[in-house]
Chain A
Amino acid sequence: MSRAIHEREVTRLTWVLLACVSCGGATSAGGAGGDGATAGNAAGANGGGGPGAAGGGGATLSRSCAAGPIGSTAMRRLTPEEYNNTLRDLLESPGLPWMELARGPEIWGFDTIAEAQVVPPRLVDEFEQAADRVATIATATANLPRLLKCDVAATGEDACARRFIADFGRRAFRRPLTTDETSRFTTFYGQQKATAGFGDAIYGVVLAFLQSPSFLYRPEFGEAAANGPAVPLSQHEVAARLSYFLTATMPDAALAADADAGRLTTDAVAAHAARLAGTEQGLATMARFHRRWLGVNALAASREDSVQYAMAQELDAVVREAALAPAGRLDTLLAADFTYANQTLAAFYRDLPALAGAGFQKVALPSDRRLGALGLGAFAATYTAVDQSNPVRRGRALRERLLCAELPAADPNVDAVVPMIRPNLTTRERFAAATAGQACDSCHLVLLNPPGYAFENFGPDGRWRFTDNGKPVDASGVLEITEDANGPFAGQADLMRRLAKSGQVHRCYARQFFRHAIGRDAIQEELPDLAVLGARLAAGDGSVRRLMSDVTRLASFRCNAADTGGAP
C-alpha cells in the first residue's frame, strides 16, 4: 500500500513507542494477569463441557442478588454513540444530525465502562449546544405538531404541554416521572410560556430534559422496597441495562412496555436479549463491540474509500457471520478460514482471488496461512508503526484482548524507541536486539514478543508478506503465556487454532462482554460465573447469542451493589 494514498487514523502514530517494561516479580508467574484467579476453578474451562457445563451454568445463572458478593457499578453516562442513538429514537428522527461530543478515556477499549466516564471539560458545553440544536429543530413550527403529538387548537396549549411532559419525560428518563418531577417541569413550562411564549416554552422543556442528569446518566437505585448490600434493579433499570448493552440506545417500545407492566422476569429479559441481538441495531452495536474489543475501532473513522475503512467493514462482516449469527461461535471467529472482501481489499491483500462485482463477497482465506478475526488486515494494521510492523504492540494486544492478562505500566525511565530500520535485519531481529538485556527480558522474552512474532507475516499495512527486508519471515515461536494453550507454533494460523480451543480465551471473551454490559470488571467472587459462561460458550451447543442471554441472567447484571463511596 502506498502511504501516499491512505491517510491513517492516528491512534497508530509512531510516537506510541513501546518501552521495555519492568515486570519485576510478576514474570515468575508466567501468564500472570487478571484472569489467573479462575485457573483452577472452572471445571468446564478446557472447552469440552457440553450439557454438563450447561447444567452447572443453570445454578450460577439463577443466583439471587443476595446469594453472594457482587461488584458495584457506578452511575453510567451515555457514550457519544449511545447519546446520538438515543436522541434519534427519542425524537423519532432518524435523520437527526450527528452531535459531536468530547470523548473521554476508554478502558479495555470500551467507553461503556463507568470508571472511564469522567466528565471532560467541554462535554457539558457540548451537551448544551447539542440540546439547543435538537430542540431548535424539533420545535420549529413545521415540526412542533409531530413532537407534541397533540392537537393544540383542539386540546389547548397547556393540556398538550402537560401530556408532552409526561410522555417525553417517560421516554427521556427511561422511567415514568415522579410526581415532584412532573410538577417541577410543569412549573418551568409555565414560567417560560409567560415570558417567551408557548413555542419557546416547549423548546425550553426539551432543553431541560436533554440536559437533565436523569437523561444523560443512568442512575440505578434498585427496587423501591429492596434492601441489603446488593439490590435487584428496578424493571426500568434492567430494561435500560439491556438495551444499552445490546443496542446502545434507549429501550424500544416492546421492552419499555414490559418494564412498565412489571413483566421483566429473568427469562423475559433473556428473551428480549435474544430478540434484540438479532435486530439490525443489535448487530451493528455488537459488531462495534468487537471492533472495540480488538482495539481497531479507529479504522472505522477513516475515509470511506480507504483500505482502512474497508478493513473495518471486513471485520464487521466476518464478526456478523462467525459470531453474531444465531449459531455464531468464538472458536469460529478466531479460526475462520474465510473473509469478506470487496474489490479494493482483494486487490490490496494480493492473496485473495480477484473479485468481480461490487460489494463485499465471501471468499476463502489462503490455505493454512492466516485465520480468523485476527488474521484480517485490521488487527495487524492497527498494532503497527508507520513504516514497520511492531511485534511488541501486537503481542501486547493479543495478551490483553484475548487472554485478559494485563501488563504493568511501562517504566518511564526507559527510553522507549521503536528500533530504526537497518539494512539486512528483519523487524524481528531488530526488535529482539532492542528488547534484549536484563531490564527488558523479563517481559519481552516471554510475555510480549513471541505472540507478536506470530504476526510477522503481516506487514505494517496489514498485508501478507513472505520476506522482510529481503530475508524470509520467521513467524514461529513458543506460546508460554496461557493456562491451557501453550506450545510451539509455526505462524499465525497455527497460533489461532491453539487459542480457539483455549478455555482461558473463552473465559476472557465472556469477561469482555461482562465489562461492556455491566460497566466494570468482575470482582474475584464473580470470576467463577465467568468460567461457567466461558464453558457454556465453548460447549458443543454454545453460541455467542447464548452468551449474550447468559450475561443478562447473571446476578451481577440483574442487581447492583450499593455505592459505598470510593473512586467511581
Chain B
Amino acid sequence: MKPTRVDRRAVLRGAGGIAIGLPWLEAMQAPRAHAQSAAPKRLLVFFHANGVSRPNWFPTGTETDWALPPNLQPLAPFKDQLVVFRGLPNRAGVTTLNAHPVGTSTLLVGRKCVSDGYPNSAAATGISVDQEIANRLPIRTRLPSLQAGVLVRSPFLDIPPTTEWISFGAANKPLPPENDPVALFDRALVNVTPGQPVDPALARRQLVRKSAVDFVLTDAAALRRRLGQRDRARLDQHLTALTELEKRLAGTIADGGSLGCLPPSRPSTPPILRRSDGTVDFLRQNNDNYPAYGAAQIDLLVQAFACDVTRVATLTWGGAGEFWTYRWVPGLSQYIGHHDLTTSGISTEPDLAKMKTWTMTQLAALAGKLAALPEGNGTMLDNTLILSVTEIDWIYGHAFADMPWLLLGGKNLGVRGGRFLDLKGTRSTNDLLVSILNAMGFPDTTFGDPALGTGGPIPGLVG
C-alpha cells in the first residue's frame, strides 16, 4: 500500500468497525484511473486447451487482406482489433516431457521447463510475463493480479497439477486459478460498491478471519518447537503459505472503484452437485455448468478491471489437456472428452471445430463487454490487451512449432490490429512476450531465456 494512503484496517479498528462513511471511503481509494492523464494499461491472458484444428483456425490471404476462418467467425466484430499469428513457435517447448504441462509451464515463461520427477508433469523455471508486469506496474491496485479459471482440473489425480498453472511468480511458484466464481468474488470484489459504505458486519467478520490466522501463526510456534527437523520443514511450508494468506486477508477490504465500475453482485453460480455419499460429482457438475461458470468469471473479470481492483488477469478454460465433453455445444456428433477427441485417431475435426468456435464465442463475449464500457477517449477494450493462448500447436501434433495465438484489443497500448501475421518461424513466442512488455510500457528487449528469442519484439506489432 502506498504510504500516502490511509490504512483502512487502522481506521476500522479505530472506528470500532461500525460506521464507515463516505468521506473515509473516498480518502482511501486508489488513485482514480480516470483522473490520471493516461488511461490504465491492462493485460488479460485467455487460455484455451489442446491446440486448434488447423483447417478451421488459420486465415487465408495477406497480412492486411484476409478472411476470418470458421473458428474465428465469432470475433468478426473485432476483426480490426485482432492479430492472428501463424508460423510462431514456442521454442521453450521441450519434447521429452508430456506436451500439455510443458505448454502451460513455458508459454508465458519463455524458458524451458524441467521434469519435476513425475510423469506427465513439468516444472516452470521462471516468472511468467503477466507476473513480471504485475510486479512492475507503477500503480498499486488492490490485487496485483487475478487468476480465474473455468473448471480447471488436471487430468491426472496423482501428480502435481502442472497442467492447471500458466502463471508463476518464480520457478516453482505457481498462481493457481480460482475456479469458484463466489470465491473469486470474495477475494476480489466483495464490498466493491462505489458510493456505498462498507457492510459493517462483513467487515467485522473479515477482521476476525484475519485475527484467527494471526492467532494460528502465533500459536503454531509452540508446536513447531517440539517438532524434529523433517516435520518442522513440512510445517514451515504450511506456515509460509499461511503468512501469505494473512497478507491477502488484510487487503480484502475493498478500496472502492473507478469510472466504469458497476456495483457487482455476488455470483449465483450453480450449486455443487453431489453423489448420494456427499462427495462432489465432478463430471456431472463440471460438464453441465461449464458455460455458467465461464460467464460468471467473465463478468467478474470485467468488473475487477472496471473497478480497478487489478490490471493483470488470466482466464483459464478447463486447463491443459482439458477433458470436458462440451455437450452444451449444439450439433456435436458424440460426447467425448475434449482431449480424448484430439487423440482418438478417428475423424473428429468437425466436432473439434464446433468446440473451438464456442470458446472463441466466449472470447468475443469478453471483448464485447470490455468494448461496451467507455474509458478515457475510447473503451476498456482499447486499454486492455488480450493475449489468447493454448498450450500446444495443433490437436494432432501436440507440439510447439506453430502456436495459434491471438492478440485482441489494446489499441491505446499501441497494438496495430486487423492483421494476419505469418512469421514463418522467423520469430518466437519469446519475441511476442517482449512485444507485450513493450505495449505495457516497459522497453525490454528480451524476456525469459534470451537464447530462445531474437533479442527484440516482433517488428511492427506495437508502436
A residues with CB within 8 A of B: 2-5, 7-11, 13-16, 74-75, 77, 84, 97-98, 100, 102-106, 109, 117-125, 128-129, 131-132, 180-181, 184-185, 188, 191-192, 195-196, 200-201, 203-204, 207-208, 211-214, 216-217, 219, 221, 284, 297-298, 301-304, 306, 386-387, 409-410, 412-413, 420-421, 562-568
Cβ contact within 8 Å between A212 and B340: no
* Contact pattern, B 132-176, Cβ under 8 Å of A = 1, otherwise 0: 000000000000000000000001111111000000000001111
Which residues between 314 and 329 of chain B lie within 8 Å of chain A, taking CB atoms?
A: 321, 323, 325
Q: Which segment, of B77-85, B114-122, B253-261, B379-387, faces chain A?
A: B114-122
Cβ contact within 8 Å between A213 and B238: yes
Interchain CB contact (< 8 A) of B211 among A117, A118, A191, A387: A191
Cβ contact within 8 Å between B280 and A219: no
Q: Bound state CA distance, A206 and B366, in angstroms?
A: 40
B279: nearest residue on chain A (CB-CB)? Answer: A98
Cβ contact within 8 Å between B272 and A219: no
Given contacts A4-B335, A15-B98, A211-B212, contact A304 B160 (CB under 8 A): no
Cβ contact within 8 Å between B208 and A421: no
Q: Which segment, of B30-38, B282-290, B402-410, B436-444, faces chain A?
A: B282-290
A563: nearest residue on chain B (CB-CB)? Answer: B228
Given contacts A75-B231, A124-B242, A303-B284, contact A10 B337 (CB under 8 A): yes
Given contacts A10-B156, A15-B343, A98-B274, contact A219 B231 (CB under 8 A): yes
Q: List 19 A-B contacts (CB under 8 A).
A: A7-B336, A9-B283, A11-B157, A11-B158, A13-B321, A105-B118, A118-B234, A128-B209, A184-B218, A185-B219, A196-B205, A200-B208, A201-B208, A207-B212, A212-B219, A301-B282, A386-B336, A563-B227, A568-B231
Interchain CB contact (< 8 A) of A213 among B158, B211, B235: B235
Q: Bound state CA distance, A495 and B335, in angstroms?
A: 36
Cβ contact within 8 Å between B283 and A303: yes
* Contact pattern, B 364-407, Cβ under 8 Å of A = 1, otherwise 0: 00000000000000000000000000000000001000000000
Rounded to whole Å, the gap between the CB of A168 and the closest CB of chain B is 14
Cβ contact within 8 Å between B336 and A3: yes
Q: Which residues in B have their C-beta under 8 angstroms from that of A409?
A: 119
Cβ contact within 8 Å between A562 and B174: no
Interchain CB contact (< 8 A) of A563 among B230, B239, B244: B230
Rounded to whole Å, the gap between the CB of A94 and the closest CB of chain B is 8
Cβ contact within 8 Å between B230 and A208: no
B172: nearest residue on chain A (CB-CB)? Answer: A121
Asked if B233 is at the interface (CB within 8 A of a chain A CB), the reply is yes
Cβ contact within 8 Å between A568 and B345: no
Among B208, B218, B222, the one with the most A-chain Cβ atoms within 10 Å of its Cβ is: B208
B120: nearest residue on chain A (CB-CB)? Answer: A16
Q: Which residues in A have their C-beta under 8 angstroms from that of B245?
A: 124-125, 128
Cβ contact within 8 Å between A75 and B216: no
Q: Bound state CA distance, A562 and B227, in angstroms?
A: 10
Q: Bound state CA distance, A565 and B233, in angstroms?
A: 9
* Contact pattern, B 1-33, Cβ under 8 Å of A = 1, otherwise 0: 000000000000100110000000000000000
Cβ contact within 8 Å between A3 and B155: no
Rounded to whole Å, the gap between the CB of A233 and the closest CB of chain B is 15
Interchain CB contact (< 8 A) of A304 among B228, B281, B337: B281
Asked if B276 is at the interface (CB within 8 A of a chain A CB), the reply is yes
Asked if B360 is at the interface (CB within 8 A of a chain A CB), the reply is no
Q: Bound state CA distance, A453 and B310, in angstroms?
A: 56
Which residues between 75 and 123 of chain B lie within 8 Å of chain A, taking CB atoms?
A: 96-100, 115, 118-120
B residues with CB within 8 A of A: 13, 16-17, 96-100, 115, 118-120, 155-161, 173-176, 183, 204-205, 207-209, 211-213, 215-216, 218-220, 222-223, 226-231, 233-235, 237-239, 241-242, 244-245, 249, 272, 274-284, 287, 321, 323, 325, 334-337, 339-340, 343-346, 398
Q: Bound state CA distance, A303 and B285, in angstroms?
A: 9
Known interface pairs A15-B343, A211-B213, A564-B230; 7 further A-B residue pairs with C-beta atoms within 8 A, sorted by A's residue number: A9-B283, A11-B155, A102-B176, A301-B283, A386-B340, A387-B345, A564-B229
Rounded to whole Å, the gap between the CB of B122 and the closest CB of chain A is 11
Cβ contact within 8 Å between B336 and A4: yes
Q: Bound state CA distance, A106 and B159, in angstroms?
A: 7
Q: Bound state CA distance, A200 and B155, in angstroms?
A: 40
Cβ contact within 8 Å between B216 and A208: yes
Cβ contact within 8 Å between A563 and B231: yes
Cβ contact within 8 Å between B208 and A204: yes
Rounded to whole Å, the gap between the CB of A297 and the closest CB of chain B is 8
Q: Bound state CA distance, A281 and B186, in angstroms?
A: 35
Q: Bound state CA distance, A122 and B152, in angstroms?
A: 13
Cβ contact within 8 Å between A184 and B231: no
Q: Which residues in A have their C-beta under 8 angstroms from that of B280?
A: 98, 100
Q: Bound state CA distance, A97 and B218, in angstroms?
A: 29
Rounded to whole Å, the gap between the CB of A210 and the closest CB of chain B is 9
Interchain CB contact (< 8 A) of A208 among B219, B321, B343: B219
Cβ contact within 8 Å between B241 and A200: no
Rounded to whole Å, the gap between the CB of B100 and the closest CB of chain A is 7
Rounded to whole Å, the gap between the CB of A131 and the closest CB of chain B is 8
Interchain CB contact (< 8 A) of B230 among A5, A74, A106: A74
B216: nearest residue on chain A (CB-CB)? Answer: A211
Q: Which residues in A have their C-beta under 8 angstroms from that of B235?
A: 75, 213, 217
Q: Bound state CA distance, A118 and B116, in angstroms?
A: 14
Cβ contact within 8 Å between A413 and B96: yes
Cβ contact within 8 Å between B120 and A195: no
Cβ contact within 8 Å between A298 and B237: no
Given contacts A74-B231, A105-B159, A412-B97, contact A203 B205 (CB under 8 A): yes
Cβ contact within 8 Å between A386 and B343: yes
Cβ contact within 8 Å between A75 and B234: yes
Q: Bound state CA distance, A410 and B281, in angstroms?
A: 33
Cβ contact within 8 Å between B174 and A121: yes
Q: Bound state CA distance, A221 and B223, in angstroms?
A: 10
Rounded to whole Å, the gap between the CB of A379 and the closest CB of chain B is 17
Given contacts A11-B158, A106-B158, A421-B345, contact A208 B282 (CB under 8 A): no
Interchain CB contact (< 8 A) of A181 among B100, B174, B219, B323: B219
Q: Bound state CA distance, A221 and B204, in angstroms?
A: 38
Cβ contact within 8 Å between B208 and A7: no
Cβ contact within 8 Å between A106 and B157: yes
Q: Which residues in A have their C-beta under 8 angstroms from that of B208?
A: 192, 196, 200-201, 203-204, 207
A119: nearest residue on chain B (CB-CB)? Answer: B237
Cβ contact within 8 Å between A7 and B337: yes
A188: nearest residue on chain B (CB-CB)? Answer: B215
Rounded to whole Å, the gap between the CB of B203 and the closest CB of chain A is 10
Q: Which residues in B have their C-beta under 8 angstroms from that of A102?
A: 161, 176
Q: Bound state CA distance, A235 and B276, in angstroms?
A: 35
Q: Which 3 A-B pairs have the closest CB atoms?
A: A563-B228, A207-B212, A565-B229
Cβ contact within 8 Å between A568 and B234: yes
Q: Bound state CA distance, A564 and B212, in angstroms?
A: 32
Cβ contact within 8 Å between A304 and B213: no
A205: nearest residue on chain B (CB-CB)? Answer: B212
Rounded to whole Å, the gap between the CB of A284 and the closest CB of chain B is 8
Among A3, A10, A120, A568, the one with the most B-chain Cβ atoms within 10 Å of its Cβ is: A10
Q: Bound state CA distance, A566 and B334, in angstroms?
A: 52
Q: Bound state CA distance, A188 and B213, in angstroms?
A: 11
Q: Bound state CA distance, A568 and B227, in angstroms?
A: 12
Q: Bound state CA distance, A117 and B97, in angstroms?
A: 24
Cβ contact within 8 Å between B228 and A16: no
Q: Bound state CA distance, A77 and B234, in angstroms?
A: 10
Q: Bound state CA distance, A387 and B343, in angstroms?
A: 10
